[in-house]
Amino acid sequence: MHQRHQQGFNLLWSHHSDDTTFRLSLNQQLHNTEHSRPVRNMSEAKNIIITGASGLVGPLLASRLLNSPEYRLVLTDLHPPILPPNVTHPSNATLLQGDITSPAFITTLLTAAQPLHAIFLFHGIMSAGSEEDYDLSLKVNVDSIRLITDQLRLTNPGCRVIYASSQAVFGQPLPQGKITDDVLPTPESTYGCHKLMTESYLTSLHRKGFLDVFIARFPTISVRPGRPTAAASSFLSGIIREPMRGVECVVPIEDRGFKSFLASPRTIAENLVRVLGLGSGCLPVHRRVIQFPGVSVSVQEMMDALGKFGGEDKLGLVKEVRDEGLERILRSWPTDFDLSTAERLGLVVDEGPGAEGIVWEYVRSLGKV
C-alpha cells in the first residue's frame, strides 16, 4: 500500500489508512513484550492513554508517570511507541501501535485502558506540514479528535481529556504587550485554524458535561532533541541542537531581534502532571484553555546562550536565510503572554535570564558541561 507521510509532534501519519492494516489484537499487544504487563491490582491503578507516544512530549510525560506505582499507561502511535528507559515501573505500560484516525483502532485503544482515568492527546501534524497538506491536517488534527471523543463520551463519560494545543491559534492583529486570556484567537495558518476548531469542539463537550476537558496551549518547545520536525518553529530548537552536534542550522528569518515564546521539554512535562491533578472547577465550564508558561526570547538571545554554553565556535554553524513562507507564519504568532491563569493554577516556568535556562538544560543533557 502506497503511503505518503508528513511529520507532526515527531510522529508520522498516513494519508491512506486502512483499518485492517492497524487493527491490532488486544491479547497480542498485552503479551507481546515484558513491558506490556498490567499492574497486579487493576483497581488501584489510574489508567491513562497517551497518544503521539513516539514523539517528544509523550515519552517525557510517560517517564514521569511510570515512576509512580499508581499509574497504568497505554502508549500509542502510528510508529512503535517509546517506552522511556530507566523508569521505576516499566511493566505498568502497554504499547499499542496503530492509526488513531481509524475508528476500529480507537475501539481497541479505549478497550485496552479500561477503566479509563484520563487521556492525553498529543498526536498531530505540525505547522509547516499542515500548511503543505490541508486534508491531512484536517484528518489528523480535527477528525481524529472527534472520533476519539465521540467514542469516549459514550464509554467513559466524565473522563479527563488533556489536549495539546498551540499558540498558533493566534494571529494578527495582536495587541501591544502580552497576550491575555481575553484576546480573540485569529489564526493565520492551517495548523492554527484546525487547533482552534478542535479547542472549540472539546470545550463544547465539557460544557455539555460529556467529558472533563483541559486544553493546554503549548509554547514552542525548545530545545527538542532528535531530528527536525515539520514545524515552522523547528529552527528554534535547531539553532542549538544542530551546532552542538557539528551540523549547520538554517534560520529562516533575517532578524535577530525576532522573539518567540519558548518552554523547555522538562517544564512542559512538569506542567502536564500538574494539570492532571487539577480540580475540574478551577476553570469556567465554557473556557477550558490554559496558556502554558514560557519565556519570550530573541534569536540573538538564543545565539548568545549557544556561544556561552556551547562555545563561540558553534555560532559559525548558524546560517540566516530568509524563507518568506515560514516567516509569514512565524510573524503571525504572539511573542509573549500574560501567565496569570497559569500561575494561579500552580504551573511553573523555566528559569532565566532569557534563553539561558533552556539552553543550559539542553547542553547539560548532552554531558557537554
Catalytic residues: 191
Distance CA 146, CA 26 (A): 23
Distance CA 101, CA 150 (A): 13
Cross-strand pairs, 298: 259
CB 306 within 8 A of CB 315: yes
Angle, alpha carbons 321-324-329 (nearest 5°): 115
Task: Write the CA distances from 352 to 12, 221, 309, integer angstroms.
Answer: 34, 15, 14
Element (H, E) at 66: none
Amino acid (one-letter) located at 121: L
User: Which residue shows C-alpha cell 466524565?
Assistant: 158
DSSP line for 199-258: HHHHHHHHHTTSSEEEEEEE-EE-SPPSS--SSTTTHHHHHHHHHHTT--EEES-S-TT-
SS3 content of the chain, % helix, strand, coil (to 5): 40, 20, 40
Distance CA 247, CA 27 (A): 44
Residue 185, C-beta contacts closer than 8 angstroms, at least 6 positions apart: 169, 170, 171, 192, 196
Dihedral of alpha carbons 248, 249, 254, 257, sign: negative
Nearest Cα to 66, choosing from 78, 43, 82? Answer: 82
- For residue 76, what is its C-alpha cell? 500509542
Residues of 166-182 as b/e, b for ≥16 C-beta within 10 angstroms?
Answer: bbbbbbeeeeeeebeee
- For residue 83, what is its C-alpha cell? 517506552
